[in-house]
Structure 1
Amino acid sequence: MKLLRFGAPGAEKPGLLDADGVIRDLSGVVPDLAGDVLSPEGLARLAAVNTEELPMVSPTMRLGPPVGGTRNFVAIGLNYADHAAESGAAVPKEPIVFLKSLNSLAGPDDDVAIPPDSRKTDWEVELAIIIGTLARRVSPEAALEHVAGYAICNDVSEREWQMERGGTWDKGKSADGYGPVGPWLVTADEVPDPQDLGMWLEVDGRRMQDGSTRTMIFDVRTIVSYVSQFITLHPGDIITTGTPPGVAMGMKPPAYLRPGQVMRLGIDGLGVQTQKTVAAE
């Protein structure tokens, strides 16, 4: 299934994308795509719904993040060896874990507002893991049992704040709207191998990133297990798993984002995001 949430920010309703590409309203079936709805049993109940009986939603309706009730927005740094190289960093021996503020969560096509004192805002196409059931200190062998599905994340990053303002990554990753997720949560049964997905990102029509999850250093099951040793993961939590090379920081000279540009990014089977950059008010 392709599950989604639509409507104004903070007032999104649950929905799904049917086999014909039509958005259907699930708000008469479940209150939100959160909590137990994301469990295997909850997803099985949604899969049994007759989509033709659900109300249709306008294709122009805004899409929000595809899950609600998120408690933790976790990110993994330098998880592609070639991206580590372009960043001038060593390949990590363990996953690098940091948090993005929940304020950074945004819909897949929302504008990205660049703060007035930002000089080095960058892009990162990433595979996001959506947690479906509580995961606390789970083994790698059991890790995928806790995954509801996958989505696209643009881990927008302010590199000066990340690298040059005291050594902690979180503040360079957490500006309002710096974490678009979606357009859909694609359930795990429709992603047979999350380690074999092509991924790309364009800025103003120019291809910047063109990679594959095959080149991850730490795979999905390792990441879920590892993070769960330190952070209890709840249904609706998001783990974004790192980016392939091609970010602005690695260019010579770097070409960071400025207001008035358009980012377009996608991952095989998970849809496409499109964001315009604007100046924050």
Structure 2
Amino acid sequence: MSSNSALLQLRELRVDIGERTVLQSVTLDVQPGELLVLMGANGSGKSTLGLALAGHPQYQVVSGQALLGDQDLLAMQAHERARAGLFVSFQAPPDVPGVKNNLFIRTAINAVRQARGEEPQDAFDFLSGAKAAAKDLGLPATMLSRPVNEGFSGGERKRNELLQLSLMQPKLAVLDEIDSGMDVDGVRAVVKLVERMRAEGTAFIIISHYLQMIESLKPDAVLRLDQGTIAERGDMELARSIARSGFKQHAASMAATAEA
């Protein structure tokens, strides 16, 4: 058991997809209620990090360590990681034909509640809470009775991910470009939900390039992922610099400064 007080501890995590190494070595601590923004050029490994933590079978953790509290994430199956308090959103949430949204979410919530030693929610209590949460997120209540994401717009799919997040109340959430496809009201809903959940102790790793949303989230730190490692850690000025100059020019500028 680690003596580190961090909620998430990653140590020299290496992840391969097939024969290609995507994450070379990632070391990172995330504290309860902390919000980190992860930025990086296409192909730098941002989504790979989230999917590897979630236990996606195509993402092979070759070496390193990943602890959630005192639990070894890498020793768990994907569903066990979710029950332990990990939530990972999809960059492109898929359809689940034939499975009603309300049944899907309630089943997930009750699995998590069981792992926490809590009583399951009955259908009435779940539906009441789900409708209230959906309203806060600008998601029509009728979406609850439809198959998961089937016929949903891009923004509706992302709001549905936020609905799951809100109701499951995880310890740590990795949100992969949650703003993609969102309108202005959707982005505001993201910020409002994240603020509330942070105050309740949920930690966040948010993958985004949308500077306005990043500024509204007021992250504790901004990380730049490059060639499979965390190349830089900074504050909002790092995000602004990347937004102004782009990843390639920013990295070149940092390299020139280091050589000077």
Q: Could you tell me the TM-score, scaled by structure 1's length?
A: 0.24
Q: Could you tell me the TM-score, scaled by structure 2's length?
A: 0.26
